[in-house]
Amino acid sequence: MKILTGNDLKSGAVVWWDGAGWSLQVNDAVDVGEDADTIAASEEAARRVNVPYAIEATRDSQGVRPAHIKDRVRALGPTVRPDLTLKPTEPEALDWIV
Amino acid sequence: MYKYDNYDQQMVDTRVEEFRDQAKRRLEGKITEDQFKPLRLMNGLYLQLHAYMLRVAIPYGTLNGAQMHALADIADKYDRGYGHFTTRQNIQYNWIKLEEAGDLLADLAKVEMHAIQTSGNCIRNISSDHFAGAAADELVDPRPYAELLRQWSSFHPEFMYLPRKFKIAVIAAETDRAAMRLHDIGIQIVKNDAGEIGASFYVGGGMGRTPMIAPQVREFVPLNQLVTYSEACLRVYNRHGRRDNKYKARIKILVHEMGAEEYTRQVEEEFAHMLDQGVEPPLAEIERLRPYFADPAFVDGPKTCDRSDPDFALWVDRNTNRHKHDSYVSAVISLKPVGGIPGDATAEQMHLMAELASKYSFDELRVMHTQNIVLPHVAISDLHALWTALEAAGLGSPNLDTIEDIIACPGLDYCSLANARSIPLAQKISERFAASGKTGELGQLKLKISGCINACGHHHAGHIGILGVDKKGTENYQLSLGGSEAEDVALAKITGRGFDEAGVINAVETVTDIYLGARNEGERFLDTYRRIGMTPFKEALYD
């Protein structure tokens, strides 16, 4: 599947297109298919997101997983600071990145 | 240390308001990201993996207690309670909000700090010897000259849009503690045969994807021509440096392709042309700057201390440097606890370091390019009290220049350019060697890790260097040996095919075992490598 990501313009936070808006949770990301460029252009124009771009990902029973490690680090947070990730109480969540 | 005059303060304050307005216009949609990006980069604001990142300039790595307190307050107020000290003697914050960036810069300006020219294709923060003004082996304090060049290079209209970024280091000792010859311009303050002080110029060094050691282009530039010669070096680069390919745009490529001899000829020609044009500030200006760097009021005291506590004695042996006044030392606060993140400090630790600087080091601190902090002037009689306070705060690791004192860039955990993570590797290697008890036995061993070819972790200059690469979507690590950023400067050579994370940690241990088995009395790792060559290491790693 193809999902859309970017950084929130104001906060810089990593965000994912959920079909209606931007979510902090990669699991909310939806397949944008061929619409990535159109959504990206309109959302950037609306100043809701900074430099959005499409990436490859898969969805399985555990949720959405970006194909590339860089995007998985973006999705969860720095592996060296589990306390600052989106799942600070689940240190094993870092295994999902590598 | 240098104090802003009204002109400096007005310049920085004006820039803060200018950026505040630029950010506001970006948030209001009046300018696009393409238009805003070069503006925010000129103010040190990057967009990194997780958020905006702000890099704050710490000129030649020198700061006072109030400034360190302010950096701590910023970590608490605008970030997540910590900061990361970098290999250019700066500090970075990883979680900055664009809508708060103007307020942050205003807070910085209150303590005479800013983030100007910490990014972009301009002259970056000038770096220097972290023991400047304190070291027993220096000729003079290099910081007045670094400050002169800082003022010259700040907002210099001719050099705001260079072909690529430009880094200058200034030292004044034979011992190079600033990786001087791995800079675009490296300047060593020297004394000539007539006993006059001047500057030796090295141009065209650097790391990155094409590492180069800067050749000397002028053995001696009189101090009253320092700025003019620097300007001539920049001007030839600005004229001929490539702008069509960012990977070939650094001055090292120009000097290499043009040839050092031809580059030097053109610099000398430009220099001769400029000499009568009044580029050079009057010598009175350097004399105006010098008192800012005057020695504090040292007092004679004990030359030795009670070493009966072995942990304290070990820290003294490893983490202090000989001072020009024999009742003092420079003390290094390690930001490399075993298993920790190299260069990271919490707001609480920053506040403590500021307080200790006030109490024990004439209110002065330095940032090392090795991502540690120096208290430059500590009375030997105060050392035990200082160490006790550091120990209690987890800042007393006795590991300067050992295999646990690893330089690591932020890597893929934070950096959008990175291909692999650096920090976890540093953590695991320090844990491995601390657990094995070999750290002391190995002696001086500089290990440096970069998460991509841009080499912010200085892997080319590591006695052992590690470069993280992307191998079909997985992290892979190339090992290299024999580099040095010091006066025995050398570029490390790759051992062979790369390793996964566990593999490269094992490989580091293998390499150190070969060293321990082969070394002669008194040899550092680097000495043994240079004597026996790469072959025994390669055989152990790959056969």
State both tokens at B20.
């505040």
- Residue B103: per-residue pLDDT: 98
Task: Assess if CATH 3.30.1060.10 describes domain B6-110.
Answer: no
- Closest of B121, B127, B114, B126 to residue B54, by C-alpha: B114
- Closest of B387, B393, B392, B342 to residue B367, by C-alpha: B342
Q: How far is A61 from chain B (nearest CA, A)?
A: 22
Query: d(Cα B33, Cα B54) in Å, to the nearest integer?
Result: 17
Task: Tell me if B51 and A50 make a contact (CB, 8 A cut-off).
Answer: no
Condensed to tens digits (0 to 9), the pLDDT of residues A20-32 reads 999 999 999 999 9
Task: Tell me if A51 and B47 make a contact (CB, 8 A cut-off).
Answer: yes
Contact B179, B462 (CB under 8 A): no
ipTM, two decimals, is 0.96
Q: Nearest CB to B98: which of A12, A73, A74?
A: A12
Q: Provide, as residue numbers in chain B, all residues whose Cβ is less than 8 Å from the Cβ of A69.
A: 412, 473-475
Compute φ and ψ for B328, nearest 5 degrees: -130, 165
Class of domain B310-392 (CATH, top level): alpha beta
Residues 6+ apart with CB under 8 A from B195: none
Q: How far is B44 from chain A (nearest CA, A)?
A: 15
Give the rounded distance of the alpha carbon of B475 from its chain centre. Answer: 26
Query: d(Cα B113, Cα B66) in Å, to the nearest integer?
Result: 11
Nearest CA in chain A to B342: A80
Task: Tell me if B98 and A74 make a contact (CB, 8 A cut-off).
Answer: no
State both tokens at B69.
């307190």
Helix (H, G, I), strand (E, B) or coil at B359: helix
Nearest CA in chain A to B52: A12
Nearest CA in chain A to B29: A47
Q: What is the pLDDT of chain A when averaged over all its residues?
A: 94
Query: d(Cα B386, Cα B388) in Å, to the nearest integer?
Result: 5
Strand ranges (E), B160-309: 168-171, 185-191, 197-203, 216-222
Q: Which residues share a beta bridge with B206?
A: B212
Q: Which long-range contacts (CB under 8 A, 24 or more apart) does B278-287 make?
A: B279/B227, B279/B228, B279/B231, B280/B224, B280/B225, B280/B226, B280/B227, B280/B228, B281/B148, B281/B152, B281/B227, B283/B223, B283/B224, B285/B148, B286/B144, B286/B145, B286/B148, B286/B223
Give CA torsion, residues B449, B455, B456, B460, to 10 deg: 60
Per-residue pLDDT of chain B (543 residues; tens, 9 = 90+): 899 999 999 999 999 999 999 999 999 999 999 999 999 999 999 999 999 999 999 999 999 999 999 999 999 999 999 999 999 999 999 999 999 999 999 999 999 999 999 999 999 999 999 999 999 999 999 999 999 999 999 999 999 999 999 999 999 999 999 999 999 999 999 999 999 999 999 999 999 999 999 999 999 999 999 999 999 999 999 999 999 999 999 999 999 999 999 999 999 999 999 999 989 998 888 899 999 999 999 999 999 999 999 999 999 999 999 999 999 999 999 999 999 999 999 999 999 999 999 999 999 999 999 999 999 999 999 999 999 999 999 999 999 999 999 999 999 999 999 999 999 999 999 999 999 999 999 999 999 999 999 999 999 999 999 999 999 989 999 999 999 999 999 999 999 999 999 999 999 999 999 999 999 999 999 999 999 999 999 999 998
Q: How far is B47 from chain A (nearest CA, A)?
A: 7
CA-derived radius of gyration, chain B? 23
Plot region of B482 (φ>0 → left; ψ -120 to 50 → alpha; else → beta):
left
- Residue A98: per-residue pLDDT: 86
- Residue A91: per-residue pLDDT: 81
- B:414-443 residues touching chain A, CB 8 A cutoff: 414, 416, 418, 421, 423-424, 427
Task: Tell me if A78 and B50 make a contact (CB, 8 A cut-off).
Answer: yes
Q: Provide, as residue numbers in chain B, all residues whose Cβ is less than 8 Å from the Cβ of A11.
A: 51, 97-99
State both tokens at B75.
């970590």
Q: How far is B187 from chain A (nearest CA, A)?
A: 37
Task: Tell me if B413 and A9 make a contact (CB, 8 A cut-off).
Answer: no
- Residue B109: per-residue pLDDT: 98
Instruction: Compute the half-sphere exposure of residue B246: CA atoms within 13 Å on the CB side of its CA.
Output: 7
Q: Provide, as residue numbers in chain B, all residues whose Cβ is less than 8 Å from the Cβ of A44.
A: 33
CB atoms within 10 A of CB B27: 15
Task: Tell me if A79 and B421 make a contact (CB, 8 A cut-off).
Answer: yes
Query: d(Cα B457, Cα B354) in Å, to the nearest integer?
Result: 26
CA A77, A82, A84, A90 dihedral sign is positive
Query: d(Cα B319, Cα B331) in Å, to the nearest integer?
Result: 6
Element (H, E) at B445: none
Query: d(Cα A43, Cα A32) in Å, to the nearest integer?
Result: 13
Query: What DSSP letter does each residue of B104-157 carry, written as one string?
Result: HHHHHHHTT---TTSSSSSB---EE-TTTTTBTTBSS-SHHHHHHHHHHHTT-G
Query: What DSSP letter does each residue of B471-537 carry, written as one string?
Result: ETTEEEEEEEE--BSSTT-B--EE-SS-B-HHHHHHHHHHHHHHHHHHPPTT--HHHHHHHH-SHHH
The full 3-state SS of B347-358, as one line of letters, equals: HHHHHHHHHHHH
- Residue B283: per-residue pLDDT: 85
> Can you give the residue ranges of every domain in chain A?
2-96
Class of domain B134-291 (CATH, top level): alpha beta
Query: What DSSP letter does each residue of B27-65 carry, written as one string?
Result: HTTSS-HHHHHHHHHTTTEEE-SSSEEEEE--GGGEEEH
- Residue A53: per-residue pLDDT: 96
Q: At what angle do helices B260-274 and B226-240 cross, to 10 degrees?
A: 120
CATH (residue range B407-542): 3.30.413.10
Condensed to tens digits (0 to 9), the pLDDT of residues A32-76 reads 999 999 999 999 988 889 989 999 999 988 899 999 999 999 999
Contact A55, A32 (CB under 8 A): no
Query: d(Cα B322, Cα B307) in Å, to the nearest integer?
Result: 17
Contact B361, B285 (CB under 8 A): no
Query: d(Cα B254, Cα B267) in Å, to the nearest integer?
Result: 13
Contact B13, B114 (CB under 8 A): no
- Residue A61: per-residue pLDDT: 87
Q: Name which of A43, A73, A84, A86 to mutate to probe chain B: the one with the most chain B Cβ atoms within 10 A of its Cβ.
A: A73
Compute φ and ψ for B503, nearest 5 degrees: -65, -40
Contact B18, B109 (CB under 8 A): no
Task: Tell me if B424 and A80 make a contact (CB, 8 A cut-off).
Answer: yes
Task: Tell me if B49 and A70 make a contact (CB, 8 A cut-off).
Answer: yes
Query: What DSSP letter does each residue of chain A carry, written as one string?
Result: -EEEEEEETTT--EEEE-SSSEES-GGG----GGGHHHHHHHHHHTTSEEEEEEEEEEEETTEEEESSHHHHHHHH--TT-GGGSS-TT-GGGGGGT-
- Closest of B425, B320, B443, B311 to residue B378, by C-alpha: B320
